[in-house]
Structure 1
Amino acid sequence: MADQTATELLTTASKSPFAEAFRTLRTNINYASLDEPYQIILVTSAGPGEGKTTVTSNLGVVMAQVNKKVLIIDCDLRRPSMHKVFGLNSSVGVTQALINDADPKVLAQKTQIPGLYVLTSGPIPPNPAELMGSQRMQALLSRAVEGYDFVLVDSPPVNMVTDAVLLSSMVSGVLMVVQSGDTRIDHAKEALNKLNKVDAKMVGVILNDVDTSAGNYYYYNYYYYSNNKPDAS
């Protein structure tokens, strides 16, 4: 799936086959966390261009469509793009919330989708990793979850910078996106190893951009995810 606009998100969220894939993802997340709900979910990937932002935004849409209040936080402070997806102002966001110790609920912006809010990145700082690993970031996530049913965190790729690994210790669970036919197996395994070393709680791996003309891929993807086997091989 390529990058999408807010209008395309609304279309995707209401039509199959992509809509069904994201609804299945939403259901699997709910079933995988009956005892301890995954209230804060980090979405990342091994490398750039594998679809993590598209997955995060679409997952946010389908979660909001079942009357949940959802906040997406753009923690990719190096190459933020969530504001482009939803057509929002990026001048105020995560960086101000961290520097000024501000309430993320106050800075979050409404989207076209009822119940879905976005805390954009704000100005790009010179020290993203330092901010992501700070106690203020932990406090920001704790305050955010008080006002929303789900918080989705869009982070940089694991193998590029340390931000996602730092954030993984602050969230309920981690989803890793891999791109069909593009992500190298050794790169995916390297990313998973980095997350495992810090005891990140893996929710699962999402196989993105599958050729849906081959029906077996869809059902394999559902089975693969629902059995929670984050093995890139």
Structure 2
Amino acid sequence: MSKLENKRPLISLLNPKSPVAEAYRSVRTNIDFSSLDTSMQVVMVTSATPGEGKSTTIGNLAVVYAQADKRVLLIDADMRKPTVHHTFRLSNRVGLSSVISRQAEVKAAIQETDIPNLFTLPSGPIPPNPSEMLGSNRMTTLIDELRGQFDLILIDTPPVLAVTDAQIMATKSDGVLLVLEAGRVKRDMALKAKQQMMQVKANIIGVVLNNVKKKNSEGYYYYQYESSES
């Protein structure tokens, strides 16, 4: 196992009875009930800054949804620092960038993981123009096409404050989940990330507060707040 894989353990798969795995299932439940009027079929996960655990969060969310018999597609839309292929030990030779640039068909780029019901569309080769690719009509058409093939589409994007990619993808998603690391991200940065999302009228369905120590418990716990209005 590589260093990158060690950094993003799929606890929900390795230890499904752990408190952390249960917390991911709680996040899943909150997402499902976050909107009673509209379907949360395409959910984007991002963070304010790098290293806050968004890729670990989205990987585990994909697992718990697949375990609930949902047909899940995890798209790595972080075409600057992709991680999904590392987490699931898959090839990244062909992926999202290949499909958008019409160098590959989507059915050839989607890969099945070892986890039943869970599929991935890795980032593919890093392009010189990620923002333009994500903002293209081709990307919109691709997501619309994939809606008919999967119960849930999870999209991993770069951090909000790093580049504009997350804002672009938020406009193509039904909901946005923001991951913040407790004790690391400053309040003003968290608020700035939220403001940037609101500028594009993103539907922020919740916040995962990551790396919160619980008393009498080893490791870290994840919390999900159903509303981001405050």
Equivalent in the alignment of 1:229: 228
Match runs of 1:10-89 below 5 Å:
10-12=13-15, 14-89=16-91
Matched, 1:3 2:27: no
- 1:147–1:101 Cα change, 3 Å: farther
Matched, 1:111 2:113: yes
CA-CA distance at 1:146 after TM superposition? 1.1
Equivalent in the alignment of 2:3: none
Contact 1:70 1:116 (C-alpha < 8 Å) held by counterparts: yes
Q: Where do 4+ consecutive residues of structure 1 move more than 6 Å?
A: none
CA-CA distance at 1:10 after TM superposition? 1.5
Letter in 1 for 2:7: D
Letter in 2 for 1:116: L
- The partner residue of 1:159 within 154, 158, 161 is 161
Matched, 1:176 2:175: no
* CA RMSD between the two structures: 2.0
- 1:27–1:91 Cα change, 3 Å: same
Equivalent in the alignment of 1:130: 132
Letter in 2 for 1:229: S
SS at match of 1:84: helix
- The partner residue of 1:193 within 175, 179, 195 is 195
CA-CA distance at 1:32 after TM superposition? 1.3
Letter in 1 for 2:8: Q
- The partner residue of 2:94 within 87, 92, 95 is 92
Equivalent in the alignment of 1:213: 215
Letter in 1 for 2:60: N
How far does the alpha carbon of each residue in 1:50-96 deviate from its partner, in whole angstroms, 9 at most, with x for none? 00000000000000001100000000000001100000000000011
Write 1 or 2 for the structure with the bigger share of helix.
1
SS at match of 2:57: helix
Unmatched runs of 5 consecutive residues or more in structure 1: none
Match runs of 1:137-156 below 5 Å:
137-156=139-158
**% same residue:** 43
CA-CA distance at 1:139 after TM superposition? 1.0
CA-CA distance at 1:23 after TM superposition? 0.6
Q: How many residues are treated as equivalent by the alignment? A: 223
More moved, 120-129 vs 31-40: 31-40
SS at match of 1:32: coil
Contact 1:3 1:51 (C-alpha < 8 Å) held by counterparts: no
- 1:5–1:89 Cα change, 3 Å: farther
Letter in 1 for 2:13: L
SS at match of 1:206: strand
Between the aligned partners of 2:49 and 2:35, the Cα distance in structure 1 is: 27
Between the aligned partners of 2:127 and 2:36, the Cα distance in structure 1 is: 38
Letter in 2 for 1:4: R
Between the aligned partners of 1:173 and 1:103, the Cα distance in structure 2 is: 26
SS at match of 1:209: strand
Between the aligned partners of 1:53 and 1:218, the Cα distance in structure 2 is: 16
Contact 1:39 1:172 (C-alpha < 8 Å) held by counterparts: yes
